[in-house]
Amino acid sequence: MPNHKKNVEVVDTTCPWVSKVWNTVDTHQKKGLTSIIHGKYAHEETVATISFCEDYIIVKDMKEADMVTDYIVNGGDKEALLKYFKNAISEGFDPDTMLNKVGLANQTTMYKKETRAIGQAFQKAMMKKFGPTEVNQHYMEFDTICDATQERQDAVSELVENSKELDLDFILVVGGWDSSNTAHLLEIPLIGGVRAFHINRSDCIGADNTITHRTMSGEIVTEPFILDLDKDVIMGVTSGASTPDSAVQDSLGSIFMLKNLQKEKKEE
């Protein structure tokens, strides 16, 4: 029986940015392009995206992108390439024929600057192989980075760039430990040499001035938090795109509690 006869209303709650990625890879297929997807092959969003693709290869980072672009330009060990990407390619993938015309898409939570760098690498590879005048026949790109993700990445990058001027002590990243976009927010300061912590809830900040956090490698560790509670703390705070505001406020409350406890100790 049709839904309307059952008095059932179906509401599509798919993120519009994810839908944009799906429309992008669908366009790739219609134009006879292989989709180059910047993402993690086991991530739920990427698994959904490849369901719209006939031919695809998933690259996790710049290193993997360089492997593919090098093969495009110079050829190489076909079997070794297929073995390395065995979990990240479409069935029957042939790099000798399927990498001549490609289009770029991405998991919307990936690091924006890396997606752009990967796109530039593939564009340059096509220029080298087919010439500058033919590049548009062999490479296509759309911007499919989620706005919420992009704004946060830009803000954290700006904090890192100005960290010395701001005399920043650390950057606190609040969000799920299994969240890809939150994990990327941690990478930006750590790669930039700024102390940073990724917590998933306020309880990670202990009353004994320790913090339990997720490292860039995915390990959960506990270590001393604020190095000098007597001085003013200057910090940057950000959160994952779907992290509730209350989680951020509760985490800040835990930090204020540490400062108040220290103040009370000094007054005793």
The helix/strand/coil state of 257 is helix
Residue 54 annotated to the active site: no
Q: At what angle do helices 62-74 and 112-130 cross, to 10 degrees?
A: 0
Q: At what angle do helices 147-161 and 112-130 cross, to 10 degrees?
A: 100
Which residue is catalytic, options 9, 44, 45, 64? 45
Structure tokens at 20: 């944009």
Closest to 186 measured CA to CA, from 152, 147, 137, 231: 152
Name beta bridge partners: 213.
221
CA distance linking residue 221 with residue 211, whole number of Å: 8
Query: Encoding tokens for residue 39?
Result: 């993402």
Q: Catalytic residue positions? A: 45
